Amino acid sequence: MSERPTTLLHVASEMTPLAKAGGLGDVIGALAAEQARRGHRVTVALPAYRSLAVPEGWTRHPHPGCDVPWGLGVEPAGFEILRPPARPGGREGGDGGAGASGGSLEVLLVEHRGARRFFDREGIYDDPARGQSYPDGAERFMFFARAALQALARRGEPIDILHAHDHQAGWVPCFARTHLAAEPAFAGVATVFTIHNLGYQGIHDPWVLGLAGFGRELFYPAGPFEFFGRVNDMKVGLLFADLLSTVSPRYAREIQSGGEFGFGLEGVLQHRSADLRGILNGIDDETWDPARDRFLPHPYDRAHPEGKLKVRAALREECGFPASPDWPLVGTVTRLVEQKGLDLIEQAEADLLRLDARFIILGAGQPRFQELLTRLMIRHPQRFYYRAGFDERFAHLIEGGCDLFLMPSRYEPCGLNQMYSLRYGTLPVVRATGGLADTVSDFDLEARTGTGFVFQRYEAAEMVAALRRGLTAWRQPAVRAGLMERGMSLDFSWRASADGYDRLYADALARVRAGAAPTLDSVRAAM
Ligand code: ADP
Ligand code: GLC
């Protein structure tokens, strides 16, 4: 890339270890650290949620607040900078871990100081008291996007790349090309928008356009700000960014194909097809490493897989399952939402009971699925164990202690748990969709190839058949050892993905230098 370090800002609503609801948090935390390690100057803008978990060793630094334009008025923003600790030889970024490469990592916390306190609340997206999303989601994240850019503009240092993630950051590329286009900090900036999940788009009533600083005259049918009579944050991001990416090559194809994957945006994605890339997520291979995992009672690795048996025994005991008969343990860790295929588990209840296996499920989410899983555990306590809520330690214990891992997703942009499973020698059983299809290869008994068990159609019978194949293979020690060995030797570290993003950034910058950055007029004209 350029001779001087690339200066880049990620705008995202989650980042481990500070705030996480799902895979987005893992991805932002690990990607930013890897980019700092390879010499970039990385800032991650993150809302200052009340629930933020700032680990020991991180330092906090004041940063001047400012007023953020908001409709016809302004709303006050406060900021704070967080820096991770220096970790010699580590990959945490910070000034230390990344220092040798000249890179750095810091977090820009965005606080809303207006009366409604957008982020000083219990949950990230949902109000735990009501079990629903906060009703002012449109305002919360539009404010976040605008305030983050405003802070950077005031700092004045030139930024090379604005990298916006999912609909919460959808307005970032638009604001950078409109209201903030004349700011010296953004004079040569390129913008990139990454889709982590097209199933969540941030769709709101049209009045929010006024808050964004645009007149109703721009809200005409089929314009960039209109989506079936409403405003769609994801669509705005998709139209104003220089380049687009999503989190696996297969999902990049699926979302343009329409049907169940496009969620109404397939036309926009086809329109930008040449600008959309699929870059497979990596995993944080320090946090998710069975040899070093602080949550596992015993370490193990590819050369010493026997340690896994002790983890397995600890998990079985924690779930209250008997040691005899010693049936295989099948794990699932998931948000309890439609996307994740839980209705297949519901439909397959009787067949699952015939499998001589025990199921361990950890998940938080929709009450309907919580009730389903609670009911299964009450009816069949020796076969189903369900733990409600978000429990990081237990998620690691399931990855380490289970024999198989089930992900029957309806769709899956990338998915991280199947990659964790491969690394932990836990055989994945997945549906052939999105990143699951790109990371798990189906076992072939004759050729002795494959790393897991893949089923094609979204049907309970197909899922049960794949599980049955998985259990049969697992019961044969030599076959099992081969599967584990192949899975555990795969490299899903961030290095390859970060290379993909470096290329994406270089191409986006080249476009901007060639004068091809979008403007409000060019985006409107292209529609
Ligand atoms: P998604 O982002 O769609 O939820 P991913 O597979 O990309 O799916 O990532 C999910 C991440 O969230 C994984 O790290 C998984 O372990 C974690 N996770 C999901 N639900 C829970 C839970 N209830 N407790 C702990 N971790 C969870
Ligand atoms: C989304 C997707 C998931 C992906 C994650 C991180 O939440 O549902 O498949 O792994 O984002 O990109």
> What is the 3 state secondary structure string of 271-313?
HCHHHEEECCCCCCCCCCCCCCCCCCCCCCCCCCCCHHHHHHH
Phi, psi of 82, rounded to the nearest 5 degrees: -115, 140
Query: What is the tens place of the pLDDT at every residue in 455-498?
Result: 999 999 999 999 999 999 999 999 999 999 999 999 999 999 99
Residue 90 has pLDDT above 60, yes or no: no
Rounded CA-CA distance 284/27 in Å is: 8
Residue 102: its pLDDT value, please?
81
pLDDT of residue 98: 55
Mean pLDDT score, 25-33: 97
Calculate the CA dihedral of residues 239, 243, 249, 251 and round it to 10 degrees: -20
| Distance (Å) from CA 398 to ligand 2 centroid | 19
Q: CA 37, 38, 40, 43 torsion: positive or negative?
A: negative
Q: Does 216 score more than 90 pLDDT?
A: no
Q: Distance between CA atoms of 192 and 266, rounded to whole angstroms?
A: 19
- Please state the rounded mean pLDDT for residues 158-186: 98
pLDDT tens-digit map of 273-314: 999 999 999 999 999 999 999 999 999 999 999 999 999 999
Kindly identify the ligand whose nearest atom is closest to the C-alpha of 196: 2
Indicate whether 43 pLDDT > 80. Answer: yes
254 closest CA partner among 195, 202, 303, 298 = 195
Give the pLDDT confidence score for residue 258 in this predicted structure: 78
Ligand 2 close to Cβ of residue 416 (< 6 A): yes
Global pTM exceeds 0.85: yes
- Number of helical (H) and strand (E) elements in the chain, helices listed first: 19, 19
Ligand 1 close to Cβ of residue 126 (< 6 A): no
> Cα(168)–Cα(14) distance, rounded to whole angstroms?
10
Closest ligand 1 atom to 339 CA = 3
CATH of domain 307-488: 3.40.50.2000
Closest C-alpha among 257, 173, 237, 175 to residue 211: 175
pLDDT band at 253 (very low <50, low <70, confident <90, very high): very high
Residue 105 pairs in a beta bridge with 42
CA distances from 120 to 51, 124, 442, 468 (A): 8, 10, 46, 47
Q: What is the mean pLDDT of the chain?
A: 94
- Confirm or reject: Cβ of 430 under 6 Å from ligand 1: no
Atom of ligand 1 nearest to the CA of 389: 23
Residues 7-282+494-526: name the CATH superfamily. Glycogen Phosphorylase B; (3.40.50.2000)
- Sequence ranges of the domains in the chain: 7-282+494-526, 307-488
Going by the DSSP 8-state scheme, the letter that residue 198 receives in this structure is: T
Backbone angles phi, psi at 177, to 5 degrees: -95, -5
Residues 6+ apart with CB under 8 A from 258: 266
pLDDT at residue number 101? 75
Integer angstrom CA distances of residue 23 from 16, 17, 153, 181, 489: 9, 12, 30, 32, 22
Is the pLDDT score of 88 beyond 80? no
Cβ of 390 below 6 Å from ligand 1: yes
Ligand 2 pocket member 196 (CB < 6 A): yes
What is the CB neighbour count within 10 angstroms for residue 205? Answer: 10
Q: Average pLDDT for residues 251-264, to the nearest whole number?
A: 92
By residue count, the chain amounts to 527
Binding residues for ADP-alpha-D-glucose: 20
Mean pLDDT of 179-193: 97
- pLDDT at 95 > cutoff 50: no
Q: Is 404 helix (H, G, I), strand (E, B) or coil?
A: strand
* 114-126 pLDDT tens trace: 999 999 999 999 9
Note whether 7-282+494-526 and 307-488 share their fold.
Answer: yes
Output the pLDDT for position 92.
45
Q: Fill in the DSSP letter of residue 384.
A: E
Ligand number nearest CA of 337 is: 1
User: So what's the pLDDT on residue 91?
Assistant: 46
Question: How does residue 99 score in pLDDT terms, banded at 50, 70 and 90?
Answer: low
CA of 456 to the centre of ligand 2 (A): 20
Q: Is 461 helix (H, G, I), strand (E, B) or coil?
A: helix
Q: Can you give the pLDDT at residue 82?
A: 98
pLDDT above 80: residue 23: yes
Q: 281 has which bridge partners?
A: none
| Token output for 143 | 């404010």
Our answer on whether the CB atom of 338 is closer than 6 Å to any ligand 1 atom is: no
How do residues 363-405 score in pLDDT, each as one tens digit? 999 999 999 999 999 999 999 999 999 999 999 999 999 999 9
Cα–Cα nearest to 79, from 92, 93, 62, 67: 62
Please give the number of the atom of ligand 2 that sits closest to the Cα of 413.
9
The pLDDT assigned to 130 comes to 86
Residue 280 near ligand 1, beta carbon < 6 Å: no
So what's the pLDDT on residue 2?
A: 44
Please tell me the least confidently modeled range out of 218-227, 250-259, 470-479.
218-227
**How confident is the model over 231-240, as pLDDT tens digits?**
999 999 999 9
Cα–Cα distance between 242 and 311 in angstroms, integer? 47
Going by C-beta distance under 8 Å and a sequence separation of 6 or more, which residues neighbour residue 343?
Answer: none
Name the closest ligand to CA 388: 1
In this prediction, residue 155 carries a pLDDT of 93
Residue 269 to residues 55, 252, 387, 461, 497, Cα–Cα distance (Å): 39, 9, 38, 33, 22
Extract the tokens encoding 498.
């970060």
Measured by CA distance, the residue closest to atom 5 of ligand 2 is 23
CB 33 within 8 A of CB 27: no
Cα 348 to ligand 2 centre (Å) = 25
Contact 92, 33 (CB under 8 A): yes
Average pLDDT (145-162) is 97
Statement: residue 331 has pLDDT above 60: yes
Q: Give residue 93's pLDDT.
A: 42
